[in-house]
Amino acid sequence: MTTFISRAFPAAAILLLSFSAFVSAQSTSNSNDNLPAAVQQAQEAVRKVLDDSSRSFKEGMVAFKENRRSDSGTAFDRSVETFLMSTLDIQRDATLQACYNQLIETIYRLEFPSAAQPPQIRSLSATCTWRWADADMNLSDEVVAMSRTAKPAATSTQAAKGGLPAASPDTAGTLIGFNQQGFEPSPLDELSKLELTTEELQVDADPVAQAQYQYIQVAVSNKSLGFSFQVHPMIQQYINYYRGRGRSTMEVGLYRSGMFMRMARRIFREEGIPENVAWLGQVESAWKPTALSWAAASGLWQFIPGTGARFGLRRTAHVDERNSFDEATRASARYLKFLANRYGGNWELAMAAYNCGEGNVDRAIRRAGVANFWAAYPYLPRETRNYVPNILATILIANNPAQYGFGHVRPAPPLQYDRIRVPASTNLAIIAQASDTTVQYIRYLNPHLRNNSTPPEPYIVNIPPGKANDVVAVFRRVPASQINNTSLANSVKGETWQTISNRTGVSVADLMAANPGMKDPKGKVFVPVSANKVNTIAYSRPTNAPVGTGGPAIKTVKAQAGDTVSKLAVRHNADPTEVAKMNGLLTNSVLGAGREIRIPAK
């Protein structure tokens, strides 16, 4: 389902934000003294956002220089989140908007270097009016120089071997990407090198293979698969491969197909494509949305950037829609329809062109003298020669798995989600809290999002099924200017504003002001976040009595990846039960990396 949200900005917020435009003017201290208090306050708010963002960005550059990729990514994310968690509307302030947009683009250029478009850190610093010393400028130049030596994922040595581009070193030791687990090798890389064995090539001498080959002929003549293709022994040879050493590959593919095949069949049907052609996705990616090939083809349907752009898939610093579910599937169907029309309804040639491009297929047809895949076969790239019969074999097995020895495989349940449109630059944390899930799961449902916020425009995101109305209700209650500096707390019957105050650290007055018209807590309540304080606390109902305000002094620490409350408490010589109570958690609660936790100060 798709739900659209619209809102108008409060006049007071617009008035306040208009004052922040003055920050770009270089004024003397005397002239500042003469400015109205409201203008000075607005200038100071904007300046604080810019300074906090600058500080985190410099931390990211230091980590980048030391090849601490994960740390640099975390620091850069924090630099971006400073804008999202502020009380200012970055889309209505020229200075903040320009800085934010260029910041996103610069981080993208650092994560995925391009010789044609290197990161412009000095320009970013000028746009953001960051007050850097000469040492900071020198550091930025060193970081830019390091990014220039990095090779794109598509040509790095490790990626060419089927490794993960996010951890691919080049000859100078520079890494690509910030998160090593970001992508998975595409099965197409192994397919291009596959050579069938003597046993797999046997069709006539194998009674089982011969019987299955005859079944193929009957299925094609009856057009029971929804489209026609020419029967060829190589199709049975690939079935032989999957019955033997390729069995685990087919089992995994058939299982994972359950997650996406219902969606793919629906979209292919809507676009006028035979539904069984959607099994192409199993050969392309094994149904992994984050699959990436050596040729920089990405997503379920393995689009390279140029072809993806031709069919409407955007690739920016904010999103790579080649990794999306619905949008990439529809683009794939439209591309296949274009190719089928180009080759007069010949689906073998359409599939071949999907793999190696229309140019290669056109040249092969010219050399063969006839528009027939098997005639053009000797003149096609090796990968494409394997590709088409492989898909046809997969379609046959998927339509009658029991006959081919795969009747035991039960496809995974369909991946279900609702779709809603959210405002520009929405932090995924508020979406996760509103839908009672985690940011990690929102990212899982939206693998095309490059960071923890949506693009700077209204954008459709996937959320857990059945949660659309809940999320829409939250966005309708909170002003647009406050979306990214608000958290949610789940209240239960009998709770008071004081108990919520005790577990969130926000005063009763501020809680009631953030929830106008709500006499007592009911359902999800808004918890205002202090300006520019970036954290990832997910508030939940405490399991024990709240901690009193007269307790010992506390300090805030950040969790590490894999931490639980108990593990973090022991590391800081604190009582796990006390730490759990102080943060409204359980002692075995798993903490996300970077999450801020309060513990007693010694």
H or E stretch covering 527: strand 524-528
Return d(Cα 186, Cα 164) in angstroms, integer: 10
Whether 130 and 50 have beta carbons less than 8 Å apart is answered as yes
**Neighbour count for residue 560 (Cβ, 10 Å):** 14
Residue written as token pair 């810019």:
50
Alpha helix stretches (DSSP H) within 85-156: 94-111, 121-127, 134-149
Return d(Cα 26, Cα 130) in angstroms, integer: 13
Retrieve residue 531's tokens: 């300006």
DSSP 3-state percent helix, strand, coil across the chain (nearest 5): 55, 10, 40
For 227-258, the DSSP string reads S-----HHHHHHHHHHHTTTHHHHHHHHHHHH
Return d(Cα 120, Cα 126) in angstroms, integer: 10
Return d(Cα 326, Cα 34) in angstroms, integer: 56
**Neighbour count for residue 150 (Cβ, 10 Å):** 23
DSSP-derived secondary structure letter, 600: E
Instruction: Give the C-alpha distances (Å, rounded to integers) separating 398 from 151, 257, 404, 595.
Output: 39, 10, 9, 44
Whether 529 and 504 have beta carbons less than 8 Å apart is answered as no
Residue written as token pair 């007693």:
600
Long-range contacts of 67-72 (CB under 8 A, 24+ apart): 67/173, 67/174, 67/175, 69/167, 69/175, 69/177, 69/178, 69/179, 69/180, 70/178, 70/179, 70/180, 72/110, 72/178
For residue 284, indicate whether it is catalytic. Answer: yes
Return d(Cα 166, Cα 94) in angstroms, integer: 34
Retrieve residue 84's tokens: 């999202």
Going along 288-349, which residue ranges are E strands? 291-292
What is the Cα 586 distance to its own chain's centre? 29
Q: β-strands 2-3, 418-422: how paired?
A: parallel
Q: Which residues pair with 556 in a beta bridge?
A: 598
Whether 291 and 299 have beta carbons less than 8 Å apart is answered as yes
C-alpha Rg value of the chain to the nearest Å: 28
Q: Which of 111, 200, 284, 348 is catalytic?
A: 284
Whether 284 and 291 have beta carbons less than 8 Å apart is answered as yes
Return d(Cα 380, Cα 363) in angstroms, integer: 9
Retrieve residue 40's tokens: 């000075």
Q: Which residues pair with 184 in a beta bridge?
A: 291
Report the catalytic residues: 284
